A and B are shown apart, each in its own frame.
Chain A
Amino acid sequence: MDGKPKPVDEILIVKNLKKSFEKKGFFHKKETIRAVDNVSFSVIKGQTFVLAGESGSGKTTIARLILGAIEPDSGEIIFDGISLDGRLQSINKVRRNCQMIYQDPYSAIDPRMKVVDIVREPLDIHGIGRPSERQSLVLDALRDVSLDPDEIASKYPHMLSGGQRQRVAIARAITTKPKMIIADEPVSMLDVSIRVGVLELMSKLQQRHGISFLYITHDLSTARYVGHVIAILYRGSIVEMGEINNVIKRPLHPYTQALINSIPDPYPGNHQGEKKFRINRTEESGSDKGCRFRTRCPYATEKCLEEPELEKVEEGRFVACFFRWN
């Protein structure tokens, strides 16, 4: 990509990241699945970068690659100026400065530990602060996520509501004072009323501590409330990337258009009559060559048998489609 900002502005740079998995079966022959295919993006300090796509598009694989849970086939990940090369030193540095919040607050925290121990654990693991200081760091973190330490610190997870659990998970993520948090669908399992509170909390933490977020989701309508930049993933590749309101108001890639078009809006007037899907029904990818979206794309032509590059179409806007001007 050209026109990138100065490196100091970026907390995370991902360059040409590739990861494929082998699918083995008893009866089927081996199949290679390109889970992440040539993905490049960067997260600016203090901003929220949204990685959006359907299930199986490779969102979570990218998160696992960044945290060093799995190793990439090729490509480069630069976190806070340090290139991740698989050495333990660099992985530990990332894990301390880059925390994760998971989708399911019911299974992400240990049911046999008290809240205070759950939040304290990362401090012990990374050896942050003297043991005597850790208690107060834990209480600070709990206050930071708007939980009352006196009320909650000695409780077990089963005594908490879903929203409280997710706040505990967030408190655990921020105790190490990370520079970045990867949030994997952090609100999709919460009730609408609690959802907004958690989203607000994330924005508040961002303003207060300058934390950058990598926000992974399939839900564009909530992403819109917290994100600055969005990348739309389709089968392991970014098909569109740009400033979030810009992308949502004026999607250029046919896939993004279909995605936004299919989000139900709470205005009944918008839904009178049949909804027009600008997308073909076929779910099979067929050949791996060319544009991945080809078989479902209503505008596909011969040209799409070649693979489109993610190209800059205007300042801060990238699209991987030959017919983006539609």
Chain B
Amino acid sequence: MSRNKLGVIGAALTLAVGVLSGCTGGEAVDVGDGGGSAGGAGGVLNAAIGGEPDQLDPHKTSAYYSFEVLENVYDTLVEPDADLKMVPALATKWTTSEDQLTWTFTLRDGAKFSDGSPLTSEDVVYSYERIIKQKLNTAYKFATVKSVTGPDPATVVVTLSAPTPNLLANLGGFKGVAIVEKTNVESGKVKTAPVGSGPFKVAGYTSGDSIKLVRNDAYWGDKPKLDGVTFTFVKDPTVALQNLRSGQVQWTDNLPPQQVKSLRDGDDPVVESAPSTDYWYVALNEARKPFDNPEVRRAIGYALDREAITKAAKFGLATVNQTAIPKSSAFFYDYAPYSHDPDKAKQMLDQAGVANLTLDLMVTSEYPETVTAAQVIAAQLKDVGITVKIRTLDFAQWLDEQAKGNFGGFMLGWLGNVDPDEFYYAQHHSGGTFNFHKYANPAVDKLLDQARTETDQGARKQAYEQAAKLIVDDASYLYLYNPDVVQGWSKKVSGYDVRSDRAIRFRSVALGK
């Protein structure tokens, strides 16, 4: 979720993401007309993304824009396939000790960084220790890691303090835990000219304008068909679409949401969507009266018409959900107790002795869908006698206010989650780092702690379902919807698929004429 911040923005304006993994092994169809255009067989794909990466150090950035680029430059030990199952990447296999506390990974033979130097267990140890010791952005993913060692160049041993059933997701969920090169990091070049072992390497970075990637011929996997990928930063979705239509770019995830439906019906550009693992929600400040009363929060749950909110905020490009985890996930829990029932809501508020309630609802212009949704929410809550004061802030200020607890309620989204722990722990555990709305339920704490280390998948799923039920019943979060990922590309592009985790993979894409 560190990619949350900008990622969500992507979602807001654009929704999008990517795809491909499904084709990794399979042959993408080479539509090339064989004639060979000027620069060689593969050609360079121009991709327009909604903003500029803050920096390209995978361990230090939290911007989704950075990860759109880095996905194609770096590798992790394992990586999610199209169904978000962890599959081999730099590690070809792994074993787990009986007590679940020692994991031994075998590294791929012949893996190299793009500068030609070999990638060994030393690099894995360096990368993980860097994250842990310097408390970098993804340090939380190593919370149970006691030590990382490399007994020989092809073996990495990870020792844990407690069983960690989601270790693979932690070590490979996204490129924030990528394997970096020590000399590249120590020279400081990693910020603008990172060296990875992925299918492409960074060839140029023009601040404010573009990042150029070229094929990494030292890549261990199937050689990419493209000669390179150039990412340009186009903030305005209308402009990005014009670029796609006029052939200046061949791929973008920055499409005007209101046009997506009609674009999907056309065949050039190709526009596709896939359900994402993101979710959007409203949280009420439980440190403030009367929102400390679960009855009041539940009443608001009944007052909301999620269908209408989704329609307004996402132009229908989302699936209504009263829990966090989307239908496509193995951890989906089918539970929807809140019907849209203003009368019931009013009754509940009366019984709770609440009248003339005013809700200070904080939203951010960084994610315009929250601003739109807030207006619909305000209208719906007015029907049950609650006055909503919408406060629209820029994201920096929003985060500040949130940290200070200075809000009645807020709407935000979480992006790119894979494991259920990521969906619940930081948000709903009383000691969670993102529990700014001050939810506390000892039963939920216990279930989340237990599920964290539960190695039996069935029992783990059950624990999360119990926790989810309590969270929904307590209305800790009022879940609204799971948005779709929407991306568009030129008809000349083949071998690309939209991925539900928003990873953008160009490794098996080909460009025809």
Whether both chains belong to one complex is answered with no
Interface residues of A (CB under 8 A from B): none
